[in-house]
């Protein structure tokens, strides 16, 4: 159905001026407001609430996809007004984070708002939209915002700083303070060609996360302590990554931030329930190896695994040999697949890639490499540090460090039980 047809139908339904309806509808759609939400907004503006009536007041934790005219009382955690281009026309929007006692979520306001971080407000008539895999509230022309009589009890830092351990993918307009642990200059293929960026790791007392600085700011130096404002959070390899874009403000600060050299050990079940993490440390027993561990071949073009001399993308290729292991770790609270790179796998195997190729040729069977890895790994109690991602298939832990724990099995089991019991 065209915009004109929708406007005519709404004008007849609402007994309103068709030209005015069409103009308002075009404006809402230009802001990328979904059609259904745009029509509900016009019904509110021109005199009806729709057949279903308004949603009752809810907690953030109760909000689900498809809810309309949501009413919430929240604390404002952050705001960021920026200009976007819609059909060649500059338009302003405000986005940020809100929270109550049950959780927090992002918002986007398509009309000017009169609140600041730290304010408590009641929002009526918000729409729910899923954006980049996360629910957010949309404030449009029909949304009413007023100071709240009873402010929600939200644990917010007095200066608005968000702990790194609490940051989630999709967060916006955050204030983050931390120490730059790693920073390097890289050139990537950007939308406008080769682009120079900084990437690295930032940490506070609660944790650490990767970041990308698209402006190559002078304060981004390893060892420097910085305050960053208006930070948004994207997903990188299954974990949150701080995005320092053009609107982000970064300055060096004189503040003591105690950063541990490695994260505290964490039960695997808790790490999985948290949705993974950038830098986690777990211990457990290796209980199995996944298919595809051992001596494999990769396509020289795309690095996908080659099977039977064929790449799924490039067809027949001369595969490049590689050692890898995918070991299943179990700590009694959960399981995950540990991905070991070529060097880590070679250390476990006890030989180089050339040694593995020679052994496979002598046995006329690549499975001898897998058998050796199984005998070296299964039943071992290990400590693994790396990046944990979680999807519908379970947890995957890309190991930065992998080491065997030398305690006796009895001592290891006692330590594991103590860790599980908290």
CATH code for the domain of 136 = 2.40.50.140
Q: Is residue 263 part of a domain?
A: no
Q: Is residue 184 part of a domain?
A: yes
Q: Is residue 134 part of a domain?
A: yes
88 and 141 part of one domain: yes
95 and 213 part of one domain: no
Q: Is residue 258 part of a domain?
A: no
pLDDT of residue 50: 45
User: Range with the lowest mean pLDDT among 217-221, 233-237, 290-294, 368-372?
Assistant: 233-237
337-357: string of b/e by CB count within 10 Å (b at 16+)? bbbbeeebbbebbebebeebb
412 and 305 part of one domain: yes
Please identify, among 113, 147, 181, the residue that sits at the C-terminal boundary of a domain.
Answer: 147
Q: Domain total for the chain?
A: 4
Give start and end residues of each alpha helix (H) in 252-317.
268-273
Question: From the CA atom positions of the chain, what is the Rg in Å?
Answer: 27
**How far, in Å, CA of 264 to CA of 134, rounded?**
28
Q: Is residue 156 part of a domain?
A: no
pLDDT top residue among 55 and 295:
295
**How far, in Å, CA of 258 to CA of 256, rounded?**
6
Q: Is residue 51 part of a domain?
A: no
67 and 38 part of one domain: no
Please identify, among 228, 252, 276, the residue that sits at the C-terminal boundary of a domain.
Answer: 252
Cβ neighbours for 232, distance < 8 A, ≥ 6 positions apart: 171, 172, 173, 174, 242, 243, 245
276 and 339 part of one domain: yes
Q: Is residue 257 part of a domain?
A: no
403 and 274 part of one domain: yes
Residue 112 belongs to what domain range? Answer: 60-147
Considering only CA atoms, which of 174, 136, 180 is closest in space to residue 157? 174
202 and 302 part of one domain: no
106 and 186 part of one domain: no
207 touches 198 (CB < 8 A): no
Residue 56 DSSP symbol: P
**How far, in Å, CA of 166 to CA of 164, rounded?**
5
pLDDT tens-digit profile of 230-283?
A: 899 998 877 889 999 988 999 999 999 988 777 888 899 999 998 888 889 999
125 and 38 part of one domain: no
Query: Please, what sign has the CA dihedral across residues 10, 16, 17, 19?
Result: negative
Q: Is residue 10 part of a domain?
A: yes
330 and 401 part of one domain: yes
CA separation (Å) from 211 to 81, 224, 243, 396? 22, 14, 6, 21
320 and 405 part of one domain: yes
Please identify, among 203, 228, 252, the residue that sits at the C-terminal boundary of a domain.
Answer: 252
183 and 301 part of one domain: no
pLDDT tens-digit profile of 348-381?
A: 999 999 999 999 999 999 999 999 999 999 999 9
pLDDT of residue 65: 85
């Amino acid at each position: 159905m065209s915009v004109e047809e929708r406007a005519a139908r709404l004008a007849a339904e609402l007994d309103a001026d068709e030209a005015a309806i069409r103009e308002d509808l075009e404006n809402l759609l230009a802001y990328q407001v979904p059609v259904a939400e745009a029509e509900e907004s016009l019904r509110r503006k021109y005199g009806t609430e729709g057949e279903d009536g308004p949603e009752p007041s809810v907690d953030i934790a109760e909000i689900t996809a498809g809810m309309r005219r949501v009413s919430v009382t929240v604390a404002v955690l952050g705001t960021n007004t920026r200009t976007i281009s819609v059909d060649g026309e500059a338009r302003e929007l405000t986005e940020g984070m809100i929270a109550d006692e049950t959780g927090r979520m992002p918002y986007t306001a398509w009309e000017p708002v009169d609140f600041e971080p730290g304010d408590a407000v009641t929002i009526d008539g918000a729409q729910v939209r899923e954006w980049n895999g996360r629910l957010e509230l949309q404030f449009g022309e029909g949304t009413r915002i007023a100071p709240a009589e009873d402010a929600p009890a939200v644990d917010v830092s007095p200066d608005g700083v968000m702990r790194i351990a609490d940051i989630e993918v999709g967060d916006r307009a955050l204030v983050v303070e931390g120490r730059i642990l790693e920073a390097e200059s890289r050139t990537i293929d950007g939308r406008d060609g080769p682009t120079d960026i900084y990437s690295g790791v930032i940490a506070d007392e609660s944790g650490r996360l990767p970041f990308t600085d698209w402006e190559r700011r002078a304060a981004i130096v390893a060892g420097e302590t910085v305050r960053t404002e208006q930070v948004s959070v994207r997903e990188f390899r299954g974990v949150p990554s701080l995005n320092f874009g053009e609107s982000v403000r970064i300055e060096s600060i004189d503040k003591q931030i105690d950063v541990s050299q490695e994260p505290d050990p964490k039960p695997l079940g808790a790490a999985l329930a948290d949705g993974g993490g950038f830098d986690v440390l777990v211990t457990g027993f290796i209980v199995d190896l996944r298919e595809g561990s051992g001596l494999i071949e990769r396509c020289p073009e795309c690095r996908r695994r080659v099977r039977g001399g064929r790449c799924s993308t490039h067809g027949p290729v001369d595969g490049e040999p590689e050692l890898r292991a995918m070991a299943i770790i179990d700590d009694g609270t959960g399981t995950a697949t540990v991905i070991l790179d070529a060097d880590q796998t070679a250390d476990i195997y006890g030989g180089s890639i050339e040694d593995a190729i020679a052994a496979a040729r002598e046995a006329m069977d690549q499975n001898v490499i897998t058998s050796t890895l199984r005998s070296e790994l299964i039943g071992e109690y290990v400590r693994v540090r790396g990046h944990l991602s979680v999807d519908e298939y379970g947890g995957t832990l890309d190991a930065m460090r992998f080491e065997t724990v030398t305690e006796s099995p009895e001592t290891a089991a006692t330590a594991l039980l103590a860790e599980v019991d908290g």
